[in-house]
Amino acid sequence: MIVGDPKPIEEIADSIAGYRKVLVLGCGSCVTVCRSGGDAEAHDLARQLAHPRYFHNTPPQFQVETLERQCERDLLEAFLNIPDDMEAILSMACGVGVQVVSDMVDPMPVVPALNTTFMGGADEPGVWREKCRGCGQCLLAYTGSICPITRCAKSLLNGPCGGTGNGNCEVDPYMPCAWAMIYYRLKRQGNLDLLKTIRTSCDWRAAGSEGPRVRKRPGIGTQT
């Protein structure tokens, strides 16, 4: 899932200081799970921002609404109700949600309340760790389902660097070496032969280096 962290309250206040009425828009999916942008956080942020200490002049008036997902335009068109007197939206979604909302309500300003950080998984309650960068050419079938692009600090494709020691990374002695994890998992699986294949450099075009990527559901845009 996409993980986001709240921006500093002072930064948020500065970004909306020029508006009189602001809709705080929570998102009910990823950022609700990691408790950074759901309905409870949206109401809490509105309460914090209502305090005069964050503004040189009178604070804006806030209204709170939460949608299931801000990243899907059809949901926004069906359920987003913006009062006529609203001047801006403070979105608590990831950067994707902010942009989809902004495209729909243009020219109304949509301001982010979060910093989008990574795609991660919950290894333990309340702790998310980065697992995937969306490189567009998944190698997990060959690496024991451990991503070397994301989990190796150097994104190495053919084994560890010379800095690994005792199964940990030289970048952070408390961080496991991704390639040590890959090796021992493949060994447990009886699949060490997979390491004999030399991987060439990544083709980063699949990761979006040629511009924003688009994926169409089969059948979309074709005649049937």
Reported as a pLDDT band with limits 50, 70 and 90, residue 63 is: very high
Q: Is 79 among the domain residues?
A: yes
Q: Is 146 among the domain residues?
A: yes
pLDDT, position 40: 96
- Same domain membership, residue 181 and residue 108: no
Final residue before a domain boundary, out of 83, 118, 153: 118
> Which H or E run includes 197?
none
- Same domain membership, residue 82 and residue 24: yes
- Same domain membership, residue 110 and residue 21: yes
What is the C-alpha separation between 24 and 39, in angstroms, rounded? 10
The one-letter amino acid at 45: L
> pLDDT per residue over 108-146, tens digit each?
999 999 999 999 998 888 899 999 988 888 889 899 999
- Same domain membership, residue 140 and residue 87: no
Say how many C-beta atoms besides its own lie within 10 A of residue 219's C-beta: 8
Angle of CA points 221, 222, 224, to nearest 5°: 135
Any idea which of 24-38, 44-58, 195-209 has the lowest mean pLDDT? 195-209
How many domains is the chain built from? 2
**pTM for this entry:** 0.83
Q: Is 9 among the domain residues?
A: yes
Q: Is 82 among the domain residues?
A: yes
Final residue before a domain boundary, out of 67, 88, 118: 118
Report yes or no: 11 and 76 within 8 Å, Cβ to Cβ: no
Work out the burial of residue 31: count CB atoms within 10 Å of its CB; fewer than 13 is exposed, 13-18 middle, 19 or more buried. Answer: buried
pLDDT, position 222: 54
Reported as a pLDDT band with limits 50, 70 and 90, residue 65 is: very high
Q: Is 106 among the domain residues?
A: yes
CATH number at residue 67: 3.40.50
Nearest to 132 by CA among 140, 144, 124: 140
Whether the per-residue pLDDT at 215 is higher than 90: the answer is no
Most confident of 14-28, 115-129, 204-218: 14-28
Q: Is 21 among the domain residues?
A: yes
> pLDDT per residue over 38-57, tens digit each?
999 999 999 999 999 999 98
pLDDT, position 224: 43
Is the sign of the CA dihedral 162, 164, 166, 171 positive or negative? positive
- Same domain membership, residue 188 and residue 112: no
Reported as a pLDDT band with limits 50, 70 and 90, residue 206 is: confident
Whether the per-residue pLDDT at 164 is higher than 50: the answer is yes
Q: Is 15 among the domain residues?
A: yes
Average pLDDT, stretch 55-67?
A: 94
pLDDT, position 181: 94
Average pLDDT score, the chain: 91
Report yes or no: 16 and 90 within 8 Å, Cβ to Cβ: yes
- Same domain membership, residue 191 and residue 155: yes
Whether the per-residue pLDDT at 62 is higher than 70: the answer is yes
- Same domain membership, residue 57 and residue 97: yes
Average pLDDT, stretch 61-68?
A: 96
What is the C-alpha separation between 38 and 86, in angstroms, rounded? 21
Report yes or no: 105 and 157 within 8 Å, Cβ to Cβ: no
Q: Is 213 among the domain residues?
A: no
- Same domain membership, residue 146 and residue 99: no
What is the C-alpha separation between 153 and 14, in angstroms, rounded? 35
Q: Which domain holds residue 168?
A: 134-207
- Same domain membership, residue 175 and residue 107: no
Nearest to 91 by CA among 1, 34, 28: 28
- Same domain membership, residue 112 and residue 140: no
- Same domain membership, residue 140 and residue 110: no
- Same domain membership, residue 170 and residue 106: no
Final residue before a domain boundary, out of 65, 90, 118: 118
Average pLDDT, stretch 149-163?
A: 93
